[in-house]
Amino acid sequence: MGTLLVVRHGQAEGNTVHRLVGHSDVPLDDLGRRQADQLADRLETVGVTRIVSSDLSRALDTVRPLAARVGVEPETDPRLREIDNGEWTGLLPSEVDARWPDLWQAYTAGSDVARPGGERWADVRVRVRSFLADLGTPEGTTVIATHGGPCLLFLEWTLGIEFSGNLFAGVVQAPDNASITTILVPGPRLVGYNDVGHLGEAVPDTTPPYEPVTGG
């Protein structure tokens, strides 16, 4: 029997204004670094045997304090990255709406649109499932540091369903920064989702990832 602890990275630069950072390597902000320390406080005694992270620094730096305390060297895997936003990378929702009004309206209405020069959520699903296939059924406790979209894809894999369209417009709220999703394997079996009980005063931003767009 093994346990997967799927962690969304701590708050990073641009998160509070919902900038579409995607594959850009933005760092944790001051709150995100505090969240990383609080995550380490929470998990240092649970018997972590392996840590695998997205290769983007905001994910890797979220688990570095934990790795130092438990003496486990983090591994990196680019399949755990957030969606590639292509030409949307670094833009605010309002800026995307102004330049691609039809695409943005379809996206916020729930469609899985392809970002110009980037990915669809269906593409991210393929690489997350590839990672899970290679991960197999590990023994012990594996911490997986990733991003909001992949966290939802871990959840759908666990539940044996497939979320349609835009993941962030679906029926499940995207997980908060520095949250923990707990999955038992084999099974898989969901034990907890979006657990932020360790954050104390480092309260994450729980607003939606974009404001609904009602016009072109």
Residues designated catalytic = 9, 82
Written as tens digits, the pLDDT of the chain (216 aa) is: 899 999 999 999 999 999 999 999 999 999 999 999 999 999 999 999 999 999 999 999 999 999 999 999 999 999 999 999 999 999 999 999 999 999 999 999 999 999 999 999 999 999 999 999 999 999 999 999 999 999 999 999 999 999 999 999 999 999 999 999 999 999 999 999 999 999 986 555 544 554 433 222
Listed in sequence order, the residues at least 6 apart from 20 whose beta carbon sits closer than 8 Å to its beta carbon are: 85, 88, 89, 90, 91, 92, 93, 96
Task: Note the pLDDT tens digit of each residue in 5-23.
Answer: 999 999 999 999 999 999 9
* Alpha carbon distances (Å) from 103 to 37, 211, 213: 39, 15, 11
CB atoms within 10 A of CB 77: 18
Query: Which residue shows structure tokens 């800026």?
Result: 95
What are the residue ranges spanned by the domains of the chain? 2-195
Q: Rounded to an integer, what distance in angstroms lies between the CA atom of residue 97 and that of residue 17?
A: 15
Query: How would CATH label the architecture of 2-195?
Result: 3-Layer(aba) Sandwich (3.40)
Q: What is the pTM of this model?
A: 0.93
CA distance 185 to 29: 33
Q: Are 196 and 80 in contact (CB under 8 A)?
A: no
Rounded to whole angstroms, the Cα distance separating 169 from 191 reads 23
